[in-house]
């Protein structure tokens, strides 16, 4: 067996092991075998990382660096990410099973996020206020918030880290980033590039380890002022409870059960491609998966037949092979969860149109076939619960009102897709659908400029865009007495 790659954490500008030397192994989802080792941080390791981040905010080069210089560092990091895209992509693919064709293109785009926030760093401005007192001059200045605790899940870790690191550092905060225990290697490779870019010690720290103690300690730490969490709603509840200790500002990017609505006037090819991209792209392991497909009754059979035909042709294979269109699921637990929800869904009356099992040609690796369920009523578990895998649940609707009602009948509210040639209808529904992102005649498009996030069980706050940069800073209000008279005695009426 090949020697396991060995990683260390990045704290205060130094590479280090966990206190006591404890380590965890990361498994390659395509082989089910361990391929690297990484430190299992203890609570004390987290304390060290937060203390380093706090020192960086209060003394040393990071604390006094101009916004323009911070922006340059971020742009340099973007350049290094682009130059090292192949290495980062291969690491992420080996560690999480995400297809190399997806990691290669996504990581080049990750560089754009660093360039975008690097460019925005010195555009954060305060204001002068037209105050209602003639002898006062009042202004606001924008300041960093403090130490940011950023926590990411295993899917698209580099992208999810970039939307946190970019605005946090652009606004002058320091950051402690906790990688997922299911595939931390890409973030440790990114830490190496941060070091090469020249970020001062403590400004960015990357710790690895289990949710508890590592994430739990981080989110309740008294010196943490801002938490940016991406993961599942169950974990998010722990995070919010922990933030009651430090009153840190919190953003949560959680899961979804996003609807894709197809009307009978839609461009069929576009709709089929949108459904396939929304469900089988990233092997369905995407928070914005369009896993509730709502199709107008008259075209239901025709659309589903076309999607099923494409799904059966999807090339399942080694994620490191550029030709593969779907790889394995990231963890065994993921596959077990999908199989159990699928069994409950079939028992509840859903019928299988395609897939539904492990592909016979892959006895090793956590592969699962692209799966389509025809759901005769809304009480099908796969149509309500997030599966985070390649499983599409299809429902019929009669008219626009029923489509909106079905789309909104979910505890989540992350994204939605609408396929129709009727532009007015697209805009009308955009207002009525409760989701943070609405795609009309497209699906899964993202950009550094476009805010991303949901509401209800899908989370709070937005990532990307200028809105998120503001969210990593706070205003300080400054009052200046410009009058010539001294300040009066407070107990003397004037």
The DSSP annotation for 107-130 comes to HHHHHHHHHHHHHHGGG---EEE-
Output 102 or 253, the one with its CB closest to ligand NAD.
253
- Residues with Cβ within 8 Å of 248's Cβ and at least 6 positions away in sequence, in order, are 149, 219, 224, 225, 226, 227
Q: 312: how many CB neighbours lie within 10 A of its CB?
A: 12
Contact by Cβ (8 Å): 438, 413: no
Query: How near is the Cβ of 106 to ligand NAD at its closest, in Å?
Result: 13
Q: Which string of x and - marks every residue 447-466 that binds ligand NAD (by CB under 6 A)? A: ------------x-------
Q: Does the footprint of ligand NAD cover residue 290 (CB under 6 A)?
A: no
Contacts to ligand NAD from residues 409-438, by CB under 6 A: 414
Is residue 211 a contact point for ligand NAD (CB under 6 A)?
Answer: yes
What minimum distance in Å lies between the beta carbon of 208 and ligand NAD?
A: 9
CA distance 316 to 325: 6
Specify the residue, 177 or 261, whose C-beta has the smaller distance to ligand NAD.
177
Query: Using the rule CB under 6 A, is 38 a contact of ligand NAD?
Result: no
Q: Examine residue 153 and tell whether it contacts ligand NAD (CB under 6 A).
A: yes
Q: Work out whether 55 is an interface residue with ligand NAD (CB under 6 A).
A: no
Does 287 sit near ligand NAD (CB under 6 A)? Answer: yes
Beta strands in 93-217 (DSSP E): 127-129, 136-144, 147-151, 174-178, 204-207
Distance CA 326, CA 121 (A): 38
238 contributes a contact to ligand NAD by CB under 6 A: yes
Candidates 219, 243, 410, 420; binder of ligand NAD (CB under 6 A) is 219
CA distance 201 to 188: 15
Q: Does 62 bind ligand NAD (CB under 6 A)?
A: no
Supply the DSSP string of 221-264, one letter for each residue: -TTEEEEEEES-HHHHHHHHHHHHHH--EEEEE-----EEEE-T
Task: Point out which span in 9-17, 110-118, 133-141, 224-232 binds ligand NAD (CB under 6 A).
Answer: 224-232
For the bound state, the minimum distance from the C-beta of residue 158 to ligand NAD, rounded and expressed in Å, comes to 12
Active site residues: 253, 287
Is residue 216 part of the contact set for ligand NAD (CB under 6 A)? yes
**For 369, which DSSP code?**
-
- The 173-192 site mask, x for binding ligand NAD (CB under 6 A), equals -----x-xx-----------
Pick the stretch among 57-65, 119-127, 131-139, 228-236 that binds ligand NAD (CB under 6 A). Answer: 228-236
Of 25, 212, 301, 399, the one binding ligand NAD by CB under 6 A: 212
Window 72-131: residues binding ligand NAD (CB under 6 A): none
Strands 249-253 and 224-230: parallel
**320 C-beta neighbours (distance < 10 Å), count:** 17
Stretch of residues binding ligand NAD (CB under 6 A), selected from 209-217, 291-299, 389-397, 484-492:
209-217
| Total residues at interface with ligand NAD (CB under 6 A) | 28
Axis-axis angle for helices 85-96, 100-120 (nearest 10): 120
Among 146, 255, 290, 383, binds ligand NAD (CB under 6 A): 255
Residue whose CB is less far from ligand NAD, 253 or 369: 253
Tell the smallest beta-carbon distance from residue 230 to ligand NAD (Å): 5
Minimum distance of ligand NAD from residue 483's CB (angstroms) = 51
Note whether 282 and 155 are within 8 A (CB): yes
Q: How many CA atoms lie within 13 A of 455 on its CB side?
A: 7
Tokens encoding 237: 């509840």
Q: Quick check: 251 binds ligand NAD (CB under 6 A)?
A: no
**Stretch near ligand NAD under the rule CB under 6 A, chosen from 52-60, 104-112, 247-255, 342-350:** 247-255
Which pairs from 81-86 meet CB under 8 Å and 24+ separation? Answer: 81/107, 81/110, 81/111, 81/114, 81/158, 81/190, 81/193, 82/108, 82/111, 84/189, 84/193, 85/111
* CA separation for the pair 141, 160 (Å, rounded): 29
Q: Does residue 338 bind ligand NAD (CB under 6 A)?
A: no
Q: What is Dmax (Cα atoms) for the chain?
A: 89
The residues binding ligand NAD (CB under 6 A) are: 151-155, 160, 178, 180-181, 211-212, 215-216, 219, 230-232, 235, 238-239, 253-255, 287, 386, 388, 414, 459
């Amino acid at each position: 067996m090949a020697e396991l790659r060995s990683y260390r954490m990045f704290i205060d500008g130094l590479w280090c092991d966990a206190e006591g030397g404890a380590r965890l192994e990361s498994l390659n989802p395509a082989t089910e075998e361990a391929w690297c080792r990484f430190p299992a941080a203890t609570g004390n390791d987290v304390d060290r990382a937060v203390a380093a981040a706090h020192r960086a905010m209060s003394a040393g080069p990071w604390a006094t660096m101009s916004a323009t210089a911070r922006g340059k560092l971020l742009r340099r990091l973007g350049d290094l990410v682009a130059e090292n895209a192949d290495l980062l992509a291969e690491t992420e693919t080996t560690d999480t099973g995400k297809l190399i064709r997806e990691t290669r293109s996504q990581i080049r785009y990750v560089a754009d996020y660093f360039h975008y926030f690097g460019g925005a760093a010195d555009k954060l401005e305060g204001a002068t206020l037209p105050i209602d007192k003639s002898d006062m001059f009042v202004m606001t200045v924008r300041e960093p918030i403090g130490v940011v605790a950023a926590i990411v899940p295993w899917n698209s870790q580099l992208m999810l880290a970039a939307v946190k690191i970019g605005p946090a550092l652009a606004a002058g905060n320091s950051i402690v980033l906790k990688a997922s225990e299911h595939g931390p290697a890409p973030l440790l490779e990114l830490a190496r590039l941060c070091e090469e870019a020249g970020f001062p010690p403590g400004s960015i720290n990357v710790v690895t380890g289990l949710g508890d103690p590592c994430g739990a300690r981080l989110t309740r730490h008294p010196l943490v002022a801002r938490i940016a969490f991406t993961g599942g709603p169950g974990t998010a509840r722990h995070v919010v409870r922990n933030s009651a200790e430090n009153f840190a500002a919190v953003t949560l990017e959680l899961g979804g059960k996003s609807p894709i609505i197809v009307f009978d006037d839609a461009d069929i090819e576009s709709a089929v491609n949108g459904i396939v991209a929304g469900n089988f792209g990233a092997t369905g392991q995407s928070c914005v998966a369009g896993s509730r497909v709502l199709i107008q009754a008259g075209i239901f059979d025709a659309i589903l037949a076309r999607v099923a035909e494409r799904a059966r042709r999807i090339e399942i294979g080694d994620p490191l092979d550029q030709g593969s269109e779907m790889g394995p699921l990231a963890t065994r637990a993921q596959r077990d969860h999908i199989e159990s929800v699928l069994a409950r869904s079939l028992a509840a009356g859903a019928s299988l149109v395609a897939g539904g099992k492990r592909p016979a040609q892959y006895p090793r690796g956590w592969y699962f076939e692209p799966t389509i369920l025809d759901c005769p009523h809304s009480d099908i578990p796969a149509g309500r619960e997030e599966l985070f895998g390649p499983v599409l649940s299809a429902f019929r609707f009669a008219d626009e009102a029923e489509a909106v009602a079905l789309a909104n009948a979910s505890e989540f509210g992350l994204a939605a897709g609408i396929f129709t040639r009727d532009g007015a209808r697209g805009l009308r529904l955009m207002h009525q659908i409760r989701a943070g992102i609405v795609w009309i005649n497209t699906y899964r498009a993202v950009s550094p400029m476009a805010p991303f996030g949901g509401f209800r069980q899908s989370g709070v706050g937005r990532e990307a865009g200028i809105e998120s940069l503001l969210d990593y800073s706070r205003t300080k209000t400054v009052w200046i007495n410009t009058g010539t008279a001294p300040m009066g005695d407070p107990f003397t009426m004037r």
